């Protein structure tokens, strides 16, 4: 695939224009040259370390080492397995000591509404200009004050092609998992992702607020659990189980697929009919961060094309940094993979974001999912 064909596959890649929108009451920086990455402007004094609460295996160690070498700052990383786990830690008693977090799109909206995020000073993040416009002014941060896109992709079904009797093309095949493969199905311990799978098979939106529809999805998942004895677990465990053959198929994140495929070439990933999740994970600064400017310097570093490409290639993700794509820095196997870089234009009616709902809606989903877990 040539470069032009690849660029058509990405999320609406368009020409980079000067940022004119004000961010956090400050004028956003003018675009930096795509041919020469920039670094953060001189800081009065960067902290010796920052603490990042991140998804597991979601940053290349080499990138952390380069940041330490260039800036003298150590990035300490703690990990979580779901957006809800991360949110709960902050709700329990405020910021427990983190300077940076990586919430998904709908969780950014929830945390903004709950006044849990700091506005980013984009004067400290000039490389934000190198992020594709398709990932700015989003539904969850329409004024681009609280977040910077970190990774993007979709949530596929991943399976071992040598273990299943037929290719997976529809989520109904997952919900009708064969009795002969009992105990070999994995689902994410993620309220919205797993509930959405069942809702879509029933013909509903993954964002429904209808209690009857949510309860119908709950009942379908409980029936599936009793018949298929599926494993409900976190991302790293799902990948390890797929590689080892303990699971033959699983609802999984893109990183599970790419990293797992490197160990087991028989793994394939698909975005089944009728609908799959599209998502964007983001760099945000939580309220109470002690080292905000240093966190902003690190965000700027992650948006540098060479660094964004190194990170995306290592962890197996799609980067929103357009310049990294334009400069041909992304590994060809990732660039050509429709799960890592879905053709959103062609799949417009088959992809949806899982959006934030009302507190009442969140409670409905939580209660339904708790019943699935306890069944």
User: Per residue in 146-173, is it b (16+ CB within 10 Å) or e — as a string?
Assistant: bbbbbbbbbbbbbbbeeebeeebeebeb
DSSP bridge pairs for 77 = 52
pLDDT at site 41: 52
Instruction: Note whether 119 and 248 are same-domain residues.
Output: no
CATH number at residue 228: 3.40.190.10
**148-155 vs 276-283, strand pairing mode:** antiparallel
pLDDT at residue number 26: 35
Report the residue count for the chain.
Answer: 375
DSSP calls for 316-347: T-B--BHHHHHTT-S-HHHHT-TTTS--TTTT
Residue 194 shares a structural domain with residue 301: no
Q: Are residues 175 and 61 in the same domain?
A: no
Q: Does residue 139 form part of some domain?
A: yes
The number of domains in the chain is 2
Residues in the chain predicted with pLDDT less than 50, given as ranges, are 1-36, 40
Residue 84, CA distances (Å) to 62, 81, 107, 133, 233 in order = 28, 9, 8, 28, 14
Q: Are both 126 and 41 inside the same structural domain?
A: yes
Q: Is the peptide bond before 274 cis (omega within 30 degrees of 0)?
A: yes
Verify that 8 and 36 share a domain, yes or no.
Answer: yes
Facing residues of 279 across strands? Answer: 153
The CA-atom distances, in angstroms, between 6 and each of 9, 34, 271, 306, 346 are 5, 18, 18, 19, 13
User: Does 100 reside within a domain?
Assistant: yes
Same domain for 370 and 233: yes
| Among candidate residues 312, 306, 284, 298, the one with its CA nearest the CA of residue 152 | 312
**C-alpha pair distances (Å), 8 with each of 11, 17, 185, 232, 328:** 8, 18, 34, 36, 14
Q: Output the 3-class SS for 166-181.
A: CCCCEHHHHHCCCHHH
pTM here is: 0.78
Q: Is residue 275 part of a domain?
A: no
Does 142 map to a domain? yes
**DSSP letters for 87-152:** HHHHHHHS--S-SEE--BHHHHHHHHHTT-BPPP-GGG-GGGGGB-GGGSSBTTBTT-SS-EEEEE
Nearest one of 81, 110, 86 to 361, comparing CA atoms: 110
65 and 124 share a domain? yes
Kindly state whether residues 254 and 361 are assigned to the same domain: yes
Question: Structural domain of residue 126, as residue ranges?
Answer: 3-152+280-342
Number of H helices, E strands in the chain: 14, 13
Strand partners, 291: none
In this structure, the strands spanning 157-160 and 249-251 are: antiparallel
Instruction: Please tell me whether residues 236 and 323 are part of one structural domain.
Output: no
Give a yes or no: residue 207 inside a domain: yes
Tokens for 130, please give them.
């190198």
Cα distances (Å, whole numbers) of residue 183 to 73, 98, 232: 45, 38, 11
Nearest to 227 by CA among 157, 165, 178: 178
Residues 125, 190: one domain? no
User: Quick one: 196 and 295 in the same domain?
Assistant: no
286 membership: H or E segment, kind and range? none
pLDDT at 32: 41
| pLDDT value at residue 249 | 97
Is the domain of 164 the same as that of 146? Answer: no
Residue 92 lies in a domain: yes
How high is the pLDDT of residue 153?
86
Give the pLDDT score at 233. Answer: 86
Beta bridge partners of 23: 26
Looking at residue 234, its pLDDT comes to 82
Q: What's the DSSP call for residue 207?
A: T
Sequence-ordered list of residues with C-beta below 8 angstroms from that of 338, at least 6 positions apart, any chain: 9, 271
């Amino acid at each position: 695939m040539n470069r032009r064909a690849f660029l058509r596959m990405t999320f609406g890649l368009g020409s980079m224009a000067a940022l004119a929108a004000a961010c956090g009451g400050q004028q956003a920086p003018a675009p930096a040259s795509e041919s020469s990455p920039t670094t953060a402007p001189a800081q009065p004094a960067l902290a010796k370390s920052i603490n990042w609460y991140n998804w597991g295996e979601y940053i290349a160690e080499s990138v952390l080492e380069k940041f330490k070498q260039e800036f003298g700052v150590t990035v300490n990383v703690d990990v979580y397995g779901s957006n809800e786990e991360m949110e709960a830690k902050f709700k329990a008693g405020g910021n427990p000591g983190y300077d940076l977090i990586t919430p998904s799109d709908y969780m950014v909206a929830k945390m903004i509404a709950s006044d849990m995020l700091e506005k980013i000073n984009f004067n400290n993040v000039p490389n934000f200009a190198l992020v594709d416009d398709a990932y700015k002014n989003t539904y969850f941060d329409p004024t681009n004050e609280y977040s910077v896109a970190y990774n993007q992709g979709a949530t596929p079904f991943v399976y071992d092609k040598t273990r299943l009797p037929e290719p997976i093309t529809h989520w109904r095949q997952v919900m009708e998992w064969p009795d002969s493969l009992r105990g070999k199905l994995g689902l994410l311990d993620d309220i919205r992702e797993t509930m959405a799978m069942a809702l879509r098979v029933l013909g509903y939106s993954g964002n429904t607020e209808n209690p009857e529809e949510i309860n119908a999805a709950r009942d379908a998942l409980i029936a599936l659990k009793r018949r298929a004895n599926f494993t409900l677990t976190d991302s790293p465990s799902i990948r390890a189980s797929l590689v080892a053959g303990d699971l033959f198929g699983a609802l999984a994140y893109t990183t599970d697929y790419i990293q797992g495929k490197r160990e087991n070439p028989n793994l394939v990933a698909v975005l089944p009919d009728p609908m799959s999740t599209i998502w964007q994970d983001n760099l945000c600064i939580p309220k109470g961060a002690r080292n905000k400017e240093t966190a902003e310097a690190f965000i700027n570093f992650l948006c540098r094309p060479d660094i964004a490409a190194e990170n995306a290639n290592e962890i197996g993700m799609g980067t929103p940094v357009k310049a990294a794509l334009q400069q041909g820095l992304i590994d060809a196997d990732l660039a050509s993979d429709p799960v890592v870089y879905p053709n959103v234009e062609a799949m417009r009616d088959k992809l949806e974001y899982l959006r934030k709902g009302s507190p009442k809606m969140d409670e409905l989903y939580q209660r339904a999912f708790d019943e699935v877990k306890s069944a």
